C-alpha cells in the first residue's frame, strides 16, 4: 500500500511540473491558495481591467500568459468548476498590460514572446538566478508588483525588490557625496517605472558626475 501511495504522490508531483498540452516543462510559482473564476475577474476589475470575460481568461491561460485552472467536480449533479492559482490575477494583469503596450509601446510584443518573457521571469523566481534576467522580464515582474500595489508580498515581488535594491545600492552609497541637485535627480529616477529608469541611467549618471564635479 505504501508503495502505491508513494507512486501516486510522485506522479502528482511530476504532473505539476509538465504542461498537459505540449509536454514541455512549465515555469511556475509554488501555488498558495486557489480562487474561482468569478473571484479572478473581480480582482481584475478592482485593478482597473474591466469587462474581462471567463473566455478571455481561459484564452490567456491556454496561450501561457497566466496559470491554468484546475477543473473540479462540485459533487453529483452539480457539474464542475474552475479553481485558479492565487497568482492568476496578477499574472494576467502583467501579461495583459504588456500585450497592450503599457510598459513600452514601441516593443510591439506578441503573445508567444510575452509567454516566454513570463516564463523567464518565473524561472528566475524559482531558481533565484536573476543575474541574466532581461529587461522585459523585469518589466513583467514590475507589473505583477503594480497589481498588488504594496498590499502583499509574493515570490515575484520579493525578487523584484532584490533586483531593484542591487541596482540602486551603488547610488545610495554615493548619496553622501552628492550635491543637492544630484540628490534631487536621483530621487526622481528611482521612483520611475524600471523600464523607463533603466533607459535614463546611463545618461543621468553622466549628468550626476558632471554636477558633482562643478560643486
Residue 96 · residue 104 · CB < 8 Å = no
Q: Judge whether residue 33 has pLDDT over 60.
A: yes
Q: Judge whether residue 66 has pLDDT over 70.
A: yes
pTM attached to this predicted model: 0.66
User: What's phi and psi for 36, nearest 5 deg?
Assistant: -80, 170
- Per-residue pLDDT band at 119 (split at 50, 70, 90): very high
Q: Judge whether residue 44 has pLDDT over 80.
A: yes
| 143 or 22, greater pLDDT | 143
Q: In whole angstroms, what is the distance from residue 212 CA to residue 192 CA?
A: 22
- Across the range 134-150, mean pLDDT stands at 88
pLDDT at residue number 13? 38
Alpha helices in 27-134 (DSSP H): 37-46, 54-62, 88-99, 111-127
Q: Judge whether residue 93 has pLDDT over 70.
A: yes
CA distances from residue 84 to 42, 64, 87, 102, 169 in whole angstroms, order as listed: 13, 14, 8, 25, 37
Give the residue extent of every domain in the chain: 178-215
| 35 or 201, greater pLDDT | 35
Amino acid at each position: 500500500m505504501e508503495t502505491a501511495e508513494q507512486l501516486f504522490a510522485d506522479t502528482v508531483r511530476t504532473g505539476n511540473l509538465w504542461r498537459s498540452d505540449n509536454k514541455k516543462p512549465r515555469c511556475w510559482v509554488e501555488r498558495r491558495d486557489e480562487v474561482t473564476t468569478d473571484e479572478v475577474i473581480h480582482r481584475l476589475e478592482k485593478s482597473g481591467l474591466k469587462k474581462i470575460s471567463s473566455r478571455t481568461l481561459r484564452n490567456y491561460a491556454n496561450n501561457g500568459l497566466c496559470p491554468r485552472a484546475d477543473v473540479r467536480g462540485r459533487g453529483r449533479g452539480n457539474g464542475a468548476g474552475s479553481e485558479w492559482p492565487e497568482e492568476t490575477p496578477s499574472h494576467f494583469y502583467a501579461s495583459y498590460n504588456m500585450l497592450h503596450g503599457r510598459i513600452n509601446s514601441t516593443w510591439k510584443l506578441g503573445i508567444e514572446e510575452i509567454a516566454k518573457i513570463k516564463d523567464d521571469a518565473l524561472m528566475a523566481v524559482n531558481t533565484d538566478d536573476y543575474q541574466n534576467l532581461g529587461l522585459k522580464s523585469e518589466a513583467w515582474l514590475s507589473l505583477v508588483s503594480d497589481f498588488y500595489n504594496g498590499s502583499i508580498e509574493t515570490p515575484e515581488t520579493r525578487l523584484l525588490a532584490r533586483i531593484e535594491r542591487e541596482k540602486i545600492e551603488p547610488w545610495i552609497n554615493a548619496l553622501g557625496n552628492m550635491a543637492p541637485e544630484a540628490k534631487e535627480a536621483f530621487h526622481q529616477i528611482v521612483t520611475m517605472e524600471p523600464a523607463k529608469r533603466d533607459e535614463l541611467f546611463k545618461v543621468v549618471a553622466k549628468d550626476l558626475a558632471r554636477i558633482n564635479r562643478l560643486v
